[in-house]
Amino acid sequence: MNIEQILVDNFFRYIAVSSQSDAKVTTLPSTEGQRELAALLEQDLQNLGYGETQLRDSGILIVRLPGNKTGVKTLGFVAHLDTVDVGLSPDIKPQMLHYKGSPLCLNEALNITISEEIRPELARYRGQDILFSDGTSVLGADNKAAISVMMTLAKALKTTPVSHGDIYFAFVPDEEIGLRGAKALPLELFPVDHCYTIDCCERGEVIYETFNAGSALLTIEGITAHPMSAKNVLVNPNLIAADFIGMLNDRGKPEQTAGREGYFWVTDLNGNQNSASVSVAIRDFDQDSYEARKHYLELLATFLKAKHPKAVVELDITDVYSNIAQAMGEDTGALDRLYKALEDLEIPAKTIPMRGGTDGSALSAQGLFTPNFFTGAHNFHSAFEFLPLPSFVDSYRVAWRLVETA
């Protein structure tokens, strides 16, 4: 098998299905493109000879790859079906370019280029073939690189003799809008001992620590009045929103933090003469600090109600996901096996606290400890997302090594 070519062919095949998620939609999946992709994956798996597939109404696809060896751990791999909507084109036009060190033109018509000057990490990949979009969309390696790794693995298991236990795949929707699919994954139909997500980041990265994450929505109803008669009457909801945002500034912002530092991120702001709303993302690695951040927002809401008694001020806080590490406990078998696979392949492990979340955050919160390993890509959620081909292949090699060492 030419693994490199199969990975690329699979990637281009699945990228062709537009599958952005939509945060405004509450159904699962939030978009029909994700259901279409899940159906395509099911058909491809059935064509390979895998008969135990379950495509649920939620868009979740669960597949059992029967083992030929008993007395070993059952493995699970999870990837998400959706690509992120950051206001770029939903249609992805991938391309492979050979990088020699000079700036690369991604789109001649729109004069879109990428260079080490704006993306210094490119310097590590001189002399390599790299996958890019045409600069009008994300590349979608988040997470179709993982889907391609899993589907290539499924094909290899049919053609390459190897002893392994049962393996389960889960393809879940709507990761980008709150890990909704992973939260809905019925674990009784996914009975695995060791589970892994494949998502994010450069060659060698291992993630078993993520943010605790929440979202807060402050809504404000003011009082409208004509300026000629506004004195002691008008209550401007936009100024109350500005008060609220101003009191968040000294508690960390994404652009001012790194490592294990938490933050508040004002993600949406809407207002008119009558009402206003502020959406805030809450992030912290430490559980106590995360709880303290939520309490701080509650104190701010109480303060604003007292400062602006004529206004109606309401605060709603929702927990979105939790730190994977909190679910690890003393059973580190899945993580130990991952580090051993990297060691066997001579891929240096780069363990990072992920300043985000994976589907593993939701699964770990349900009791299934789920670390994550790399796809090899860079610059997720960006038109300059790119995936070096050798790193892509190494992601597959890690998955294969996890299987053959079961």
End-to-end, the C-alpha distance of the chain in Å comes to 22
CB count within 10 Å of CB 215 equals 16
Nearest-angstrom CA–CA distance, 301 and 244: 8
Known catalytic membership, residue 175: yes
The catalytically annotated residue of 82, 284, 359, 394 is 82
Token pair belonging to 161: 């003799």
Please answer whether residues 324 and 361 qualify as being in contact, where contact means their C-beta atoms are separated by less than 8 angstroms. Answer: yes
Name the active-site residue from 85, 134, 142, 175. 175
Q: Is 360 exposed, middle or buried (0-12, 13-18, 19+ CB in 10 A)?
A: buried
Contact at 8 Å (CB) between 358 and 196?
A: no
Contact between 344 and 94 (Cβ < 8 Å): no
> Cα–Cα distance between 68 and 399 in angstroms, integer?
18
Instruction: Look up residue 115 and give its two tokens.
Output: 């260079």
Q: Can you state the angle between helices 389-404 and 333-344, rounded to 10 degrees?
A: 120
- Supply 188's token pair: 């009784």
* Alpha helices per DSSP H over 119-169: 141-159
**Cα separation of 33 and 92, whole Å?**
13
- Helix (H/G/I), strand (E/B), else coil: 70: coil
Annotation marks residue 129 as catalytic: no
One-character DSSP codes across 294-334: HHHHHHHHHHHHHHSTTSEEEEEEEEEE--GGGGTTT--HH
- Our separate counts of H helices and E strands in the chain read 9, 17
Beta bridge mates, 105: 113
SS3 labels along 229-270 = HCCCCCECHHHHHHHHHHCCHHHCCHHHCCCCCCEEEEEEEE
> How many residues are given for the chain?
406
**Which residues are known to be catalytic?**
82, 175
